[in-house]
Structure 1
């Protein structure tokens, strides 16, 4: 419950802050569309609010983040996998998730459903870092 409260607080703060609109940046993967809704910098951290839509059968590609990511599933179902291809979580509409930072936390998100997946994401990154860093595909196979 505490994590959910933290995610909702971060989302509320980001939305409530008169954020400056930006253009969307490229997202690795297939069938992924990102729209940056705003960004604000406090001290040495960038707070970025982004809407991500993943088409049915789409994937984020293998990646990691330089900062912590807080997510809310607005529609659909996210299948989330670790770098050893084990399921990290299945997140449905209304669920929240937290992705820790660093190259030791490589992961991929898939939409195996027949409807679009919509995520609202708050990135808390070191100032100037990219939203995600591409990672090589691990040697394991994702479950079908």
Structure 2
């Protein structure tokens, strides 16, 4: 019996106390202009633009016209990954976020803040901007 309790204690000690809450699901951006579908993308988590809530200037066929890479300017925004390479890091998820409005990619940290809120940070160096996305209904 003592051996069994010792094994159980070791298992509990090896379990991280502050594991990140899952971020998968459909989320409305802070600007309320799109729904982003966050899901498994192989070895990491990614988020794709699933639906426009505000029609872009070129309509549903809007292209990535602000991308710094001219070769990528013809790709459609709808279904494009804007969150890429997210992996769990203690109580959060770390990866990159792409802003199609300015064509820039930022280091990003994402955390669940309750069942219906997602905190999304985009960072340049030590400076971060935080948005709160709501779960899509």
TM-score, normalised by the number of residues in structure 2? 0.30
Q: Which has the larger radius of gyration?
A: 2
TM-score, normalised by the number of residues in structure 1? 0.29
Bigger RCO (CA 8 Å, 6+ sep): 1
